[in-house]
Chain A
């Protein structure tokens, strides 16, 4: 499949270094019978905030797992910063170090402290001895504390995870990802369970981090309103297919997938989708 990509006209502009993620006709499945994703095409610009919205079971989490190589497509082409995801490829493995992934339940180690959780983000930078002895270098500890302060948890470094509130736990997960010095942040419904105000605090934090470190954020959301508020682009997934890609330009919602839908039609389409 790689050969096809090289010889034929590529589906995306592969010359530009602007694209950080590209998918072309990607299919994937958990069992051999049903496809969880069917023919996904997308392309994400570096430094943007890209949202994925859709009903439960539509394939949003699966789409994220393709981007950190937890899943492999059964068909189609994926490029992450122009490299095909493959855990056995040294070059890609190195890239994984800088892809922050926050799963739906955050994946924090509950019985350990905030600092210990955040330091996990620096594990790829440790040598064997340091990581075996759990002896993190002084500058990494300093960096971890700086990031903990950045996400608003200063003074709570030694609190255990199970003592924290939902919003605080999300801050820890973000801090662990930032500790990776990431280029990409993948977050699966990170604010879905939060109240309106806390959800926006967390989103502001991510947008702020994006500005600081030219980070591309790819986030699964439940709430279309919130997605439109923060994202440059919103992809709508339905039953494993991408049915819409929209963005806000001025007062209008623009359709980027087909380019021929009006704001009204788009909103109508989406509200139809959620009312069911």
Chain B
């Protein structure tokens, strides 16, 4: 531990205290609030079981929204990623598209949702649009980065045959970047389910809509049931996507690594 390190740690601690004071972070209030959690659990147990099917249905709706948003988002992102890869296009093509994608990414999904609620009214459609925009911004960026790191050897070998650009893309670029794409799709879907769960807070449909309304009317027990459903669903999906990744994606990438030489 050098004196320089001590100074850095000291500064971080000081900033922590100042910032906590400014935003009213209070450990005392946190501890005092803990018994309230017990009250929520008591209320939860008292909730009639007929709400559980409603909660499950709301969760199912959320998953469907996330699914549509992810699929359409990826479908739009892929052509954009091909157009924004520097090894496939001239500056005049990739520069403006990259700028557009960067602009799309500056908005978190909840702000997109707010914008679309204003545009198309509240409901699930606004939520789907928000998830679509978010997916476009991220998948396009992740994918053009993958395309740019494709090995130049297959590109050279095939383009020197004198094939067209469309052929080069469909026979080299896409197959060489596909294994990454699969894992990104899975990750995005997983992530979008979590995001969609909260879009209801701004009126963009999904299970979050129920949660925010129960909270507004102090029905914490019902809200907690719905939150529990989100938690369990996310855990299950997380577990499933790890399984899928292990089984189909890591294996093939591992195979590629072992035999590159």
Which residue numbers of A lie inside 8 Å of B, CB to CB? 68-70, 87, 93-94, 96-97, 99-112, 120-121, 123-124, 131-132, 134, 160, 162-164, 166, 173, 176, 180, 193
Give the docked Cα–Cα distance between A110 and B259 (Å): 9
User: Please, how many angstroms separate the alpha-carbon atoms of A134 and B171 in the complex?
Assistant: 9
CB distance from A71 to the nearest CB of B (A): 11
Is B153 a contact partner of A123 (Cβ separation < 8 A)?
no
Q: Is the CB of B161 within 8 A of A180?
A: yes
A106 neighbours in B (Cβ, 8 Å): 153, 157
Which of B158, B164, B175, B255 contacts A162 (CB under 8 A)?
B255
- B160 at interface (Cβ–Cβ under 8 A)? yes
In the assembled complex, which residues on chain A have CB atoms less than 8 Å from the CB atom of B160? 68-70, 96, 99, 101
Contact flag A103-B161 (CB < 8 Å), given A109-B175, A120-B171, A164-B259:
no
A-B contact pairs, 28 of them (CB 8 A): A68-B160, A93-B162, A96-B160, A99-B160, A102-B157, A105-B153, A106-B157, A107-B158, A108-B157, A109-B154, A109-B171, A110-B176, A111-B176, A111-B178, A111-B179, A111-B256, A120-B158, A120-B171, A123-B167, A124-B162, A124-B163, A131-B166, A132-B166, A132-B170, A160-B255, A162-B255, A162-B259, A163-B255
Which B residues fall within an 8 A CB radius of A? 151, 153-158, 160-164, 166-167, 170-172, 175-176, 178-179, 252, 255-256, 258-259, 261
Min CB gap B259→A, angstroms: 5
* B156 x A101 contact (CB < 8 A): yes
Residues of A with C-beta under 8 A to B175? 109, 111-112
Among A102, A104, A107, A134, which residue has its beta carbon within 8 angstroms of that of B170? A134
Q: A105-B153, A111-B179 are in contact. Are A162 and B166 (CB under 8 A)?
A: no
A107 touching B157, Cβ below 8 Å: yes
Asked if A104 and B153 make an inter-chain contact with CB atoms under 8 angstroms apart, the answer reads yes
B170 touches A131 (CB 8 A): yes
Q: A109-B172, A111-B256 are in contact. Are A123 and B156 (CB under 8 A)?
A: no
| Cα(A112)–Cα(B175), bound, Å | 7
A70, A108, A110, A176 interface centre (most CB from chain B within 10 Å) = A110
A105 to B155, CA, bound (A): 11
